[in-house]
Amino acid sequence: MEKKGAVLMEKYEVDKFLGQGAFAKVFRARNLETKKRVAIKVISREKVVKDGLVNQIKREITVMRMLKHPNIVQLYEVIPSRNKIYLVMEYAKGGELFRKILKGKLEEEVARNYFQQLITAVDFCHRRGVYHRDLKPENLLLDENGVLKVSDFGLSALAESKRQDGLLHTSCGTPCYTAPEVLCRKAYDGVKADIWSCGVILFALLAGELPFYDPNQTLMCRKICAAEYICPSWFPDEVKSLLSGILNPDPDKRILISEVMETCWSRDGLNYITTITEVELDADVGFDDRVNSENKELVDITSLS
Ligand code: ATP
């Protein structure tokens, strides 16, 4: 068979550039043996070390290895080479849910279905001590069957990173979807912060716009901290009540994920069979001067872009 793209480890043929994040490029590829499509995230070691992101990448890998769920992008394998780290992941052909919202609000049943899948995945993460901390429609991908896949665990936190008070102390995430207590740089509970983001996503799915927005970031943060939003009158009553429970600026009064799951807006999503892979607490990707000698001949697929 004639080869169309660069080949990685004689195993993956790379054929398309999918996009670029802050420190990585993502390509589509095909497993030459199984013919299965995959997405390969190519991380530059040099950039990661220079930008002080080693721990962030290790955490992303550790977390992805821990999570095996139908609504979470699966990490198949990590291939370290001298200059790059390749994360071979499940390919989400349908792209970002964000693109769908850009076209306008979704039908109620469609929005409900995505929200159920999101809550199921987030609950799965929380039960394993993982907080995503950057939930937004750009990080929710769709596969070829429209199944939602949570991706981008680059800003996630593990329960071990909590201090003794059980709270997280790093401010991160995208302002529009960020909980007030995180914006105010207070110590916060990762579970409650993720639930807030799910509420903002629910609003955006149904309304086709954000609950809190202002071109002036300071004013937007003020709106978020006061939970100042207006539900369109046509939102179903159950959604209005669910949103008032989720978008409560006081995290102690915010609805629990177990309560969210009891509403019919997420109940049906509980039927997934889930498995968990073996937990590896520290991602060994050779940052500690170990380079897998078998990987020296890797083709530099980043030149494809
Ligand atoms: P950042 O990580 O800096 O927040 P980002 O989320 O855009 O930014 P990446 O996660 O590196 O960066 O993704 C880059 C692009 O590749 C995005 O457009 C994303 O939708 C796409 N992408 C990432 N993972 C997959 C995947 N598993 N399947 C299909 N497309 C993907």
pLDDT in tens, 150-175: 999 877 776 656 555 656 555 445 68
Per this entry, what is the length of the chain? Answer: 305
240: CB partners within 8 A, 6+ apart? 231
Residue to probe by mutation, ligand 1, list 15, 18, 60, most atoms within 8 Å of CB: 18
The model's pLDDT over 109-153, given as tens digits with 9 standing for 90+, comes to 999 999 999 999 999 999 999 999 899 999 999 999 999 999 998
Which of the two residues, 188 and 147, has the higher pLDDT score? 147
Q: For residue 72, how far is the Cα from the chain centroid?
A: 8
What is the distance between the alpha carbons of residues 191 and 189, in angstroms, rounded to a whole number?
A: 6
Q: Considering only CA atoms, which residue is closest to atom 9 of ligand 1?
A: 21
Catalytic pick among 134, 152, 189, 194: 134
Ligand 1 centroid from CA 120, angstroms: 21
Residues 200 and 210 sit within 8 Å (Cβ to Cβ): yes
- pLDDT recorded at residue 163: 53
Residues 302 and 25 sit within 8 Å (Cβ to Cβ): yes
- pLDDT recorded at residue 6: 87
Which of the two residues, 13 and 6, has the higher pLDDT score? 13
Q: Name the band, by pLDDT with cuts 50, 70 and 90, for residue 288.
A: very low
Q: Considering only CA atoms, which residue is closest to atom 17 of ligand 1?
A: 19
Query: What pTM was estimated for this model as a whole?
Result: 0.85
What is the distance between the alpha carbons of residues 75 and 154, in angstroms, rounded to a whole number?
A: 13
Ligand 1 neighbours (beta carbon < 6 A): 18-22, 24, 26, 39, 41, 73, 89-92, 96, 141, 151-152, 154
Q: Is 250 a catalytic residue?
A: no
Residue to probe by mutation, ligand 1, list 15, 17, 25, 26, most atoms within 8 Å of CB: 26
Ligand 1 atom index nearest CA of 134 = 4
Q: Which amino acid type is present at position 157?
A: A
Q: Considering only CA atoms, which residue is closest to atom 16 of ligand 1?
A: 19
- pLDDT recorded at residue 294: 37
The model's pLDDT over 20-72, given as tens digits with 9 standing for 90+, comes to 987 899 999 999 999 999 999 999 999 999 988 898 899 889 999 999 999 99
- pLDDT recorded at residue 296: 34
What is the distance between the alpha carbons of residues 197 and 178, in angstroms, rounded to a whole number?
A: 6
Percent of the chain with pLDDT over 90: 63
- pLDDT recorded at residue 164: 55
* Mean pLDDT, residues 277-301: 38
* Mean pLDDT, residues 183-187: 81
Ligand 1 centroid from CA 219, angstroms: 29
Q: Where are the alpha helices (DSSP H) in the chain?
A: 45-50, 54-66, 97-102, 108-127, 180-183, 190-207, 217-225, 237-246, 257-262
12: CB partners within 8 A, 6+ apart? 29, 30, 31, 32, 38, 40, 88
- pLDDT recorded at residue 237: 94
Q: What was the ipTM of the complex prediction?
A: 0.95
Ligand 1 centroid from CA 230, angstroms: 31
Percent of the chain with pLDDT over 70: 80
Residue to probe by mutation, ligand 1, list 139, 151, 155, 176, most atoms within 8 Å of CB: 151
Q: Considering only CA atoms, which residue is closest to atom 7 of ligand 1?
A: 21
The model's pLDDT over 240-269, given as tens digits with 9 standing for 90+, comes to 999 999 999 999 999 999 999 988 676 654
pLDDT for residue 293 is more than 70: no
What is the distance between the alpha carbons of residues 59 and 69, in angstroms, rounded to a whole number?
A: 18
Closest among 42, 27, 3 to 91, alpha carbons compared: 27
pLDDT for residue 7 is more than 90: no
